[in-house]
Chain A
Amino acid sequence: MKSKPVNPTRRKFLQVGAAAVAAPAILGATRAYAANPVIRVGHISPRTGPLANFAEADDYVLDAINKIFAAGLENNGKTYNVEIISKDSQSNPNRAAEVAADLILGDEVDIIVAASTPDTVNPVADQAEINEVPCVTTDCPWQPYFFGRNGVPGVGFQSTYHFFWGLEDVIGAFLDMWGQSGVTKTVGGLFPNDADGNAWGDAELGLPKPLAAAGYALTDPGRYQPLSDDFSNQIAAFKAAGCEIVTGNMIPPDFATFWAQAAQQGFAPKIVTIGKALLFPSVIESLGARGDGLSSEVWWSPHHPFSSSLTGASSKQLADGYTAASGRPWTQPIGFKHALFEVVADVIRRSDDLDDPSAIVAAIAATDLNTIVGPVNWANGPINNVTKTPLVAGQWQREGDAFDLKIVANSAAPEIPLTGSLKLL
């Protein structure tokens, strides 16, 4: 090998020397950053459109999560930077699928998460499943998630996992609440012709069977189209059957139309328990005095005895923090949105190999974490890829100027304390 004789001139020596002295300072700064590989997490939620209420706390939750993630997360002794890329589904399932594909193929996210109703969760999970990207979702009852995606019990899905409660829990919580009230066991059902309404009203898997088993007579006039302007026929049917309880799964405008017409037609049930429409304090407030005493399922509240595995904050602290930051009352999705990222952080820490999607999926499946919404552990699921968090029932009761959601029935989850007792309308 022929080597070139080294004859450094004074000028060359100074140049190389200066570069050598400066190098650690310049390269050091960039190298320390580059040494931390980045894990990208895609997040999809309905920030605009009819479902925007579900995502109103997104900024608050993501800010807190980003602060925790800013220090990086440790995996197998190596620190990873976590970048959350959040996109809007515009409350539209087609758009949700589109942004999910964008995140997977364009941003090349390593994990994708989504929350809020089958319209967001299902298309995102489907995209993740096709592209074999690990996916965690929440805030949608598991039946529409599992059966809505043509899941086969016993087989389940490859890369998509879900935590929330199911229809059986809602039915149990409702029956628990009605049972203690002593009203006549006649129920009027209002189920719209949408994913939720069809699941709730389904003769086999929905409310009718367990209600009949518990001795309730259900009057179900049939599926109505959402955004109907008239409920006089349903009200006439409920009056004829002497219904003292009204239940169902409605969107807020439909419930408001029904509830005003019920008063006009002289129909006064003693208990009104409606899923979805009565979740948010803003809806109850918009109903004014007629909002007092309406009841709903409760997935999460400041009284839930759980705390965050990430920040250590209790349910009450998380809810109060949101109220302080936004000036708005707490809502139930806040806890679940936070819990979603608790699971993500836990998975990133535990995964055997963050470059291998199947290792991430294995870490998701092996999750055993106490989150702010309760324990999340897919080994305890009712069906493949699904695990359940506790559910109780609550009633909106007026306290001074504001409405408070009192937990009035908790048989299924006695660890969540009662905060009030059911009052008849």
Chain B
Amino acid sequence: MEWFNAVVQGALLGGLYALFAAGLSLIFGVMRLVNIAHGDLIVLAAYLGLSVTLVLGIHPLLALIVVVPAMAVAGYILQRGILNQTLGQDLLPPLLVTFGLSVIIQNALLEIYTADPQKMNAGLLETASVSLGGLSLGVLPLLTFAVAVLVIAGLQWTFYRTALGRAFRAVSDNQDIAQLMGLNRHHIFGLSMALALAVTAIAGILLGIRTSFDPSIGGGRLIFGFEAVIIGGLGNLWGTLAGGVILGVAQTIGAKIDPGWQILSGHLVFLIILAVRPNGLFPRISG
């Protein structure tokens, strides 16, 4: 029973990791951009959510109404203003620019919000739980998992059922030909970053309800996002969800054996999958 509990708790944790990873997966899939600042953008979203809840006095989940569009607009401006200038044949310039962005975001947050750990107060939602066959499942982790599934499904639908998704796939396949067909790739990249940061906003708010955060915490969250993306296979959104769940379950099973193994076993599973299947479990993009 305890082992089963560990698996279930791990799977729910995987929902959070999948949310961390979805934005990364999306922008890598569309424009091969590795966003080092992703973790800090999650924390930025959490701080935005905190400000909105404090100023308007509303529930953190309602703050999503403000934070999601705000992050999306910020994403579009960021992409068109800065990141588009760095994209090219070389992977390194965008990597370096987002690394710098990560440092800037951290220190800006430190200046504005100080180093105090903050947490969003979601009242009963934080501590509520439901009993299922002897298992006690927190409502918040369940909600996080459900949101992760919905977000992934929504992204998948956008990708394969809409004109925007077709544009994403077109520039992803070949930028130059997409451009010839009348797509403005700068605009498409901007939209994909906007979509990615909208997902980041959801991840940030859920993280901020789940635990406390401070300006420096983003980097630590980035690694789990990357691992979920790689495990699931680059560019495959459902794979990213699977990757998150595998990572979460590996962590809780490891912790069941010994708490010292929690993070390590997640990394080990990641390395094993990378060794056995370098393109991840369900790759959609080669290389």
Residues of A within 8 A of B (CB): 48-53, 56, 91, 193, 221-225, 227-230, 232-234, 236, 252-257, 260-261, 263-266, 280, 282-283, 286-288, 290
Q: For B224, list chain A residues within 8 Å (CB).
A: 229
Given contacts A224-B259, A253-B213, A283-B212, contact A290 B116 (CB under 8 A): no
* From B128, B212, B262, residue with most partner A Cβ within 10 Å: B212
Contact B116 A286 (CB under 8 A): yes
Q: For B121, list chain A residues within 8 Å (CB).
A: 288
Q: Cα distance A287–B5 when bound, in Å?
A: 26
Q: Cα distance A223–B68 when bound, in Å?
A: 37
Q: For B70, list chain A residues within 8 Å (CB).
A: none
Q: Which one of B10, B213, B216 contacts A230 once the chains associate, using CB atoms below 8 Å?
A: B10
Q: For A225, list chain B residues within 8 Å (CB).
A: 260, 262-264
Contact A230 B138 (CB under 8 A): no
Q: Cα distance A91–B6 when bound, in Å?
A: 34
Residue of B nearest to A236 (CB): B2
Q: State the main secondary structure of chain B at its contact with A.
A: helix
Q: Cα distance A252–B213 when bound, in Å?
A: 8
Contact B212 A256 (CB under 8 A): yes
Q: Does B236 contact A (CB under 8 A)?
A: no
Task: Give the A-B contact count at a CB cut-off of 8 A.
Answer: 133
**Stretch in B92-100, B168-176, B181-189, B250-258 with 4+ CB within 8 Å of A:** B250-258
**Stretch in B21-29, B74-82, B107-115, B193-201 with 4+ CB within 8 Å of A:** B107-115
Contact A252 B214 (CB under 8 A): yes
Q: Cα distance A234–B121 when bound, in Å?
A: 24
Q: Cα distance A190–B10 when bound, in Å?
A: 19
Q: For A224, list chain B residues within 8 Å (CB).
A: 255, 259-260, 262
Q: Does B59 contact A (CB under 8 A)?
A: no
Residue of B nearest to A262 (CB): B127
Residue of B nearest to A285 (CB): B116
Residue of B nearest to A260 (CB): B126
Q: Cα distance A48–B104 when bound, in Å?
A: 13
Contact B115 A56 (CB under 8 A): yes
Q: List B residues 225-283 near A (Cβ within 8 Å).
A: 248, 251-252, 255-256, 258-260, 262-264
Q: For B133, list chain A residues within 8 Å (CB).
A: none
What are 11 A-to-B residue pairs whose CB atoms are below 8 Å? A48-B107, A50-B115, A52-B110, A228-B255, A232-B5, A253-B117, A253-B214, A256-B117, A257-B210, A266-B136, A280-B117
Q: Which one of A193, A221, A266, A286 contacts B118 once the chains associate, using CB atoms below 8 Å?
A: A286
**Shortest beta-carbon distance from B222 to chain A in Å:** 11
Contact A228 B212 (CB under 8 A): no
Contact A260 B127 (CB under 8 A): yes
Contact A50 B119 (CB under 8 A): no
Q: Cα distance A290–B122 when bound, in Å?
A: 12
Contact A227 B220 (CB under 8 A): yes
Contact B252 A232 (CB under 8 A): yes
Contact A230 B115 (CB under 8 A): no
Contact B259 A234 (CB under 8 A): yes
* From A193, A264, A266, A290, residue with most partner B Cβ within 10 Å: A264
Contact B117 A283 (CB under 8 A): yes
Q: Cα distance A263–B140 when bound, in Å?
A: 11
Contact B129 A265 (CB under 8 A): yes
Q: Does B13 contact A (CB under 8 A)?
A: yes
Q: Does B211 contact A (CB under 8 A)?
A: yes
Q: Which 8 A-B pairs have the closest CB atoms?
A: A52-B115, A264-B138, A263-B127, A282-B116, A224-B259, A225-B263, A256-B212, A286-B119
Contact B255 A260 (CB under 8 A): no
Interface size class, chain B: 35 or more
Known: A48-B110, A228-B255, A280-B116. 19 other contacts (CB 8 A): A49-B216, A51-B115, A53-B116, A56-B115, A222-B259, A224-B259, A224-B262, A230-B13, A230-B252, A230-B262, A253-B213, A253-B214, A257-B211, A263-B126, A264-B139, A266-B129, A287-B119, A288-B119, A290-B127
Q: For A287, list chain B residues within 8 Å (CB).
A: 119, 212
Residue of B nearest to A229 (CB): B13
Q: Which one of A52, A222, A280 contacts B260 once the chains associate, using CB atoms below 8 Å?
A: A222
Residue of B nearest to A54 (CB): B115
Contact B129 A253 (CB under 8 A): no
Given contacts A222-B258, A230-B251, contact A50 B214 (CB under 8 A): yes
Q: Does B102 contact A (CB under 8 A)?
A: no
Q: For B260, list chain A residues within 8 Å (CB).
A: 193, 222-225
Q: For A265, list chain B residues within 8 Å (CB).
A: 129, 136, 138
Contact B115 A48 (CB under 8 A): yes
Q: Cα distance A229–B10 when bound, in Å?
A: 10
* From A56, A228, A254, A257, residue with most partner B Cβ within 10 Å: A228
Q: For A232, list chain B residues within 8 Å (CB).
A: 5-6, 9, 252, 255
**Shortest beta-carbon distance from B111 to chain A in Å:** 9
Q: For A253, list chain B residues within 8 Å (CB).
A: 117, 211-214, 217
Q: For A221, list chain B residues within 8 Å (CB).
A: 258-259
Q: Cα distance A193–B259 when bound, in Å?
A: 9
Q: Does B16 contact A (CB under 8 A)?
A: yes
**Shortest beta-carbon distance from A323 to chain B in Å:** 15
Q: Does B190 contact A (CB under 8 A)?
A: no
Q: Cα distance A261–B137 when bound, in Å?
A: 9
Q: Cα distance A81–B114 when bound, in Å?
A: 33
Q: For B6, list chain A residues within 8 Å (CB).
A: 232-233
Given contacts A233-B252, A264-B129, contact A53 B115 (CB under 8 A): yes
Q: Which one of B127, B137, B139, B251 contacts A229 once the chains associate, using CB atoms below 8 Å?
A: B251
Q: Does B49 contact A (CB under 8 A)?
A: no
Residue of B nearest to A227 (CB): B220
Q: For A49, list chain B residues within 8 Å (CB).
A: 115, 216
Q: For A260, list chain B residues within 8 Å (CB).
A: 126-127, 138, 140, 210-211
Contact A91 B5 (CB under 8 A): no
**Shortest beta-carbon distance from B260 to chain A in Å:** 5
